[in-house]
Structure 1
Amino acid sequence: MSTPNKFSFVNPKNVPFFYGYIVLFIGSIGVLASIPGQTVGVSVFTDPVKDALGLSRNQFSNAYMIGTILSAFFVSKAGILFDRYGARYVAFGATVVLGMSLLLCSVAVEISHAINTLLKISTWMVPFGVMCVLFFCIRFSGQGVLTMASRNMIMLWFDKNRGKVNALSSVTVSLGFSSSPLVLNYLIDNHGWERSWQILAVCLFVFSFGILQLYRNKPEDFNMVPDGVKTPETSDEVQTITEPLKKVLRHFTLHEAKQTRGFWMFSLILAFNSFFTTGFTFHVVSIFGSQGYSKTHAIAIFIPISIIALSVSTLCNILSDYISHKIYLYVMIGGGILASCGLMCLSHPFGVYALVAGLGLLSGLFAVINAVTWPRYYGRLHLGAITGKVMSFLVVASAIAPSLFSYCFSTFGSYAYISYMALGFLLFLTVGAIAVKNPQ
């Protein structure tokens, strides 16, 4: 961009070390800032908000599904905006929208009552519609755009060390996501769900200023290249260095990437993770409550899951610079099978252990594949468009999960039956992944 440092007091050229490490830090915080728009951030609010609005679990889940599916239609477009305008402005806009959406969420009851009074009606469809709109806003800005922009920005600033850097980012993100239910539950217990959303909104507005100051789109804007090597001053030297890189790495367009099997297999396993993890997280209190566990025990399960996820992501991120990512695809499928079997047998101790191990593997490898695999397979030039399309798959998967889990429980009296569908899908992926190759 012509003015990559506009509105900022920080110039990457004046930093005494490679600015990519600041990008790594602030980009990781950016992913954490998306928590209020993620399922892990919404799930803690589910019971108090639905009760305050007078909605059933199925109605609240359906509102979540509709709002999230609607957001999926726009996420891929946001990826194109990322390629055109960069992470800085896209992430800033997403953060402001997410903060404003949380403020509206905090007065959802008042908005519903006002609409009912204005229309002189009294129906559950009004709060249902209000939550559909609000879920669209927080899911699009939080889960979709802010996460995609922050993660892609980090990947653009590194190449050879991309896996190692993502390992550091994953540590921060995993710890933040795993502890967020406890933090949010503490806020709700002490301040109520309305004030808690308002506190989070203020934090996001403050962080949006940090985005303008510290987010930077790519190293080339400042005469740098990924990993911190300065580019030569003369055009002849630039061509000497960049020409071999062009021969080694091909930059796929979204259309070209979609012609490869790897794009679909990796996208589908990531979508499965989004589906299963979202459904589980959204109804975690109910899932464990159906087996006699308390709310405290249900929320605490995220701690061992995060420990496994953190260990897996750290190791696999480091190894990702050296081994085939197809191995990760199969390990992630194995994690899905383990988690599905664990949910099916949750009444037994084995089921709890299997569920924790499976979700840990899924979450750990998700952090690797969703960040490192795409630039490794398809290059950096069209990374926004490619990851934006993938994000739309994840958003759709996360949209339908809460409703399917809810209807499974209300119809059959158990969440276990969702595992049969999951195992069938994983069998399909196991066969389809055999022919996956790195298109580079």
Structure 2
Amino acid sequence: MKSRVFEKIYYGWFIVFIGALGIFFSGPGQTYSNSAFIDQYILDFGWSRSEVSGMYSAATLVAGLIMMFVGKFIDRFGPRIMMVTIGSLFAIALFWNSMVSSLWMLAIGFFLIRLLGQGSMTLIPNTLVAQWFIQKRGFAFSIMTLGSFISAMVFPVINTWLIDTWDWRFAWQFWSILLLVVFVPFALFGVRNTPEDVGLEPDGFAGKEAKHAKPIMGTTNINADTEDWTLKEARQTRTFWAILICIGIPAMVNTGITFHIISIFGSNDLSPALAATVLSLMAAVGIPMSFVSGIITDRIPTNYLLAVIFIVEIILLTMLLFTTNFFLAILFGVIWGIANGLERISIKVIWPNFFGRKYIGSISGVGVTMTVIGSSLGPLPFGVGYDLFHSYTYVILATLIFPVIGLICALIAKKPSKAQIQA
């Protein structure tokens, strides 16, 4: 029965589903999920907000530095073994968090969920899906990214309900059991590392038709299978470092805004409820925009799309200075969602599009390291700026320099050729 189904439906789309499931279950390691537990720790244990926030930032930073090794393990052992291993370890980490009773336990718990959840549970699906698609890579990633948006929408709601109905310890245990019962079996029995492993080709039945697709922007073939670069070779190119900057800046800026959005809106006489509405709106708008981004990345060079994202980010930061009423807040949420939808796909597909499939784990691992480090550094400047000036105006104005730098890097991050470094 299974073989008959996959004679008509390319198995790569089932891989995309498992990838989306993996990204969904990265939720317990993400900030949008952990925010529901912070006040519980403070109330139950009497810890200060600075202590908990400091532990979270430090754990995130250390986890980010280790992520490049996870990428190398993916290249060595393959996505399937890594997905099952990481999923199982992540479930154990979630159970550990349900037993937290001291600051050192909290620090270890934060480190584990940031390393295994935020980092690894997003890196492995990105690496896996990149192996199965070339011509349709952007569209495949846009479908997989639905797992991220759905996760961001449902985890805060479910966590709040679990904590209010039972307690925060049960909430951690609930996700631990669900991860083991749902995700790990899918990874174990459903994942195949590459299409070649099962006698298929990337893109499946669409592969031959896709070769005749007409790219735009004057390029010859946007997602044609490229040269396979090792991490060492990639590091010799200007493009590699420019992309890293392009990835780190949105992570830093978006995390900084998200972490402080209630306070930022409050300084503009806007309610916390409106701030929460804007966050939900951002996620909702991001869903259709991820599909648009997937279609675009299959047709134009990915670095051009990154340039557009930084232009939108400049507009967003400028708007934040003048968002003082309901209409502007909703408009801000819509534009923010557009930027996030475009960003989530482009930063995933640019690595395999530019550096090939063979060593994508190692290369993407460095990218995820930059993302995690960027997100760990984002909240601090906003907090310090507000404490110093009792306003977010100066720190927002200073932050504008980063998307400008990102825009320049995006424009110079052109697809490399090995002939350039061998010359």
Q: What range is the shorter-chain TM-score in?
A: 0.7 to 0.9
Residue 80 of structure 1 pairs with residue 72 of structure 2: yes
Structure 1 counterpart of 2:214: none
Q: Aligned letter for 2:76? A: R
Secondary structure in 2 aligned to 1:194? helix
Out of 358, 372, 383, the position equivalent to 2:349 is 372
Find the partner of 1:149 among 124, 130, 153.
124
Consecutive unaligned residues of structure 2, counting only runs of 5 or more, are: 208-223, 418-423
Secondary structure at the residue paired with 2:28? helix
Q: Which moved more, 1:361-370 or 1:168-177?
A: 168-177
Is residue 62–residue 403 contact of structure 1 (8 Å, CA) maintained in 2? no
Q: Given that residues 57 and 406 in structure 1 are in contact (C-alpha distance below 8 angstroms), is that contact kept between their aligned partners in structure 2?
A: no
| 2:92 is the counterpart of 1:100 | yes
Q: State the identity as a percent.
A: 28
Q: In 2 relative to 1, CA 366–347 (structure 1 residues): closer, same or farther, beyond 3 Å?
A: same
1: CA distance, partners of 2:71 / 2:180? 23
Say whether the 8 Å CA contact 1:67–1:135 is kept in structure 2.
Answer: yes
Contact 2:316 2:336 in 1 (8 A): yes
CA contact (8 A) 1:345 1:416 kept: no
Alignment of 1:41-440 (within 5 A): 41-109=33-101, 112=102, 127=103, 129-206=104-181, 207-228=183-204, 249-291=226-268, 293-349=270-326, 352-353=329-330, 355-439=332-416
Please report how far the alpha carbon of residue 99 of structure 1 lies from its aligned counterpart in structure 2 after TM superposition. Answer: 1.7
Mark the CA change 1:172 to 1:103 in structure 2 (over 3 Å): closer, same or farther. Answer: closer
Q: SS at the partner of 2:400?
A: helix
Cα separation, 2, equivalents of 1:107 and 1:290: 37
Give the equivalent residue in structure 2 for 1:37: 29
Kept in 2, the 8 Å contact 1:343–1:415? The answer is no
Alpha-carbon spacing, 1:432–1:172, altered in 2? closer, same or farther (3 Å): closer
- Measured in 1, the distance between the counterparts of 2:155 and 2:269 equals 24
Instruction: Check whether the contact 1:157–1:226 (CA below 8 A) recurs between aligned residues.
Output: yes
Structure 1 residues 209 and 346: CA distance shift in structure 2, 3 A:
same
Per-residue CA shift, 1:49-107, capped at 9, x if unaligned? 23333233322221111101111221100101111111111122222222222222222
In 2, are the aligned partners of 1:181 and 1:299 still within 8 Å (CA)?
A: no
Distance 2:83 2:398 in 1: 36
Moved more, 390-399 or 344-353: 344-353
> C-alpha separation between the residues in 1 aligned to 2:50 and 2:385?
10
| In 2, Cα distance between equivalents of 1:407 and 1:256 | 39
- How far residue 46 of structure 1 moved from its aligned partner, in angstroms, is 2.3
Is the CA contact (8 Å cut-off) linking 1:31 and 1:147 kept in structure 2?
yes
What whole-Å deviation, never above 9, does each CA across 1:224-272 have from its counterpart, x for those lacking one? 11112599xxxxxxxxxxxxxxx96211111222233332333222222
Q: Which amino acid in structure 1 is aligned with residue 136 of structure 2?
A: N
Q: Please tell me the root mean square deviation across aligned C-alpha atoms, in Å.
A: 2.6
The residue aligned with 2:221 is none
1: CA distance between counterparts of 2:276 and 2:161?
A: 12
The CA deviation at 1:422 is: 1.9
- 1:285 Cα shift? 4.1
Change (3 A) 1:406 1:295: same
2:243/2:409 contact within 8 Å kept: no
CA distance in 2, matches of 1:405, 1:265: 25
- In structure 2, C-alpha distance between the alignment counterparts of 1:399 and 1:228, rounded to whole Å: 39
Task: Tell me if structure 2 keeps the 8 A contact 1:12–1:222.
Answer: no
**Residues 265, 214 of structure 1: alpha-carbon distance in 2 compared, 3 angstrom cutoff:** same
Spell out, residue by residue over 1:341-399, the C-alpha distance to the aligned partner (whole angstroms, 9 max, x if none).
Answer: 23333434575245424431331122211221111111101100110001101111111
**Structure 1 residues 360 and 309, CA, compared in 2 at 3 Å: closer, same or farther?**
same
Matching residue of 2:219 = none
Post-superposition shift, 1:40?
Answer: 1.6
Q: String of CA shifts for 1:148-204, please: whole Å, max 9, x gaps.
A: 001221121111111122222233432332333233223223223222111111111
TM-score (norm 2): 0.86
| Deviations, residues 269-291 of structure 1 (Å, cap 9, x unaligned) | 22222112223333444444555
Cα deviation for residue 14 of structure 1 reads 8.2
* In 1: Cα distance, 2:262 partner to 2:45 partner: 19
Amino acid at match of 2:85: G
2:15 alignment partner in structure 1: 23
Q: Secondary structure at the match of 1:322?
A: coil
Taking a change above 3 Å as real, the CA distance of residues 267 and 103 of structure 1, as seen in their structure-2 partners, is same
Specify every segment of 5 or more residues in structure 1 that has no aligned partner in the other structure, as ranges: 1-9, 113-126, 232-246
Q: Which amino acid aligns with 2:50?
A: N
Q: Is the 8 A contact 2:313 2:403 kept in 1?
A: yes
The residue type paired with residue 62 of structure 1 is: G
Q: Using the alignment, how far apart are the partners of 1:192 and 1:220 within structure 2?
A: 47
